[in-house]
Amino acid sequence: MTTTSQTPGTVGAAYEFRAALPEDAEAIGAIDGSFTTSTVFRVAVTDDGFALREVPVDPPLTKVFPEDDGSDEDEEDGEEDDSRTFVAIDAAGGLAGFAAVSYHPWNRRLTIEDIEVAPEHRGRGVGRTLMGHAVDVAREHGAGHLWLEVTNVNAPAIRAYRRMGFTFCGLDTVLYQGTESEGEQALYMSMPCP
């Protein structure tokens, strides 16, 4: 499916949204997913759960994600998952963003494996439109919900996901141990399939 749309907040810029092609792989791998934020979500773990509080950081924190090692998690249930990647192409033919999703039939979950928008295209509705394509895949499969993982320091993404309808559903305090993201916590967010 290919769609072209005028996204909110743009001045005459249109984007083409389509399924990724093999020739998009290099541009997807090269997209700058880094961000700078003046706030993070502080996680307080209690015996009964956890609490989050958005707190300022000074100086602002800049996060550059490590290179993906290319390894995929093994499927334990033996069922075939449906994985797809969608891209947003700007008017000049460059990659503005992408979303990689997978559907897991055993629990009717559509997982947002990765979603990134190039810095110069943020705030223009590209991420929201890519997420709309993920919702379309979820509906196609009869998914019960969409699910994603985000680091607690990515306050800009957390705020965007909340605006899209995602809510917090879990925490992993050890996911990043022994990695370049040591000290961060993994927050899980979900939303019912609209």
Q: What are the tens digits of pLDDT across the range 59-72?
A: 999 999 877 655 44
Q: What is the pLDDT of residue 151?
A: 97
Say how far apart CA 102 and CA 116 lie, in whole Å: 16
Q: What is the pLDDT of residue 79?
A: 54
Please choose, from the candidates 111, 73, 114, the residue with its C-alpha nearest in 3D space to the C-alpha of residue 189: 111
Q: Which two tokens stand for residue 181?
A: 């993201």
Of all residues in the chain, the percent with pLDDT exceeding 70 is: 87
pTM confidence score: 0.88
> What does DSSP say about strands 145-151 and 109-117: parallel, antiparallel, or unpaired?
parallel
Q: What is the pLDDT of residue 9?
A: 46
Cβ atoms of residues 103 and 138 within 8 Å:
yes
* Per-residue DSSP letter, 7: P
pLDDT category, 2, cuts 50, 70, 90?
A: low
Of all residues in the chain, the percent with pLDDT exceeding 90 is: 81
pLDDT (mean) for 135-158: 97
Cβ atoms of residues 52 and 41 within 8 Å:
yes
Q: What is the pLDDT of residue 65?
A: 86
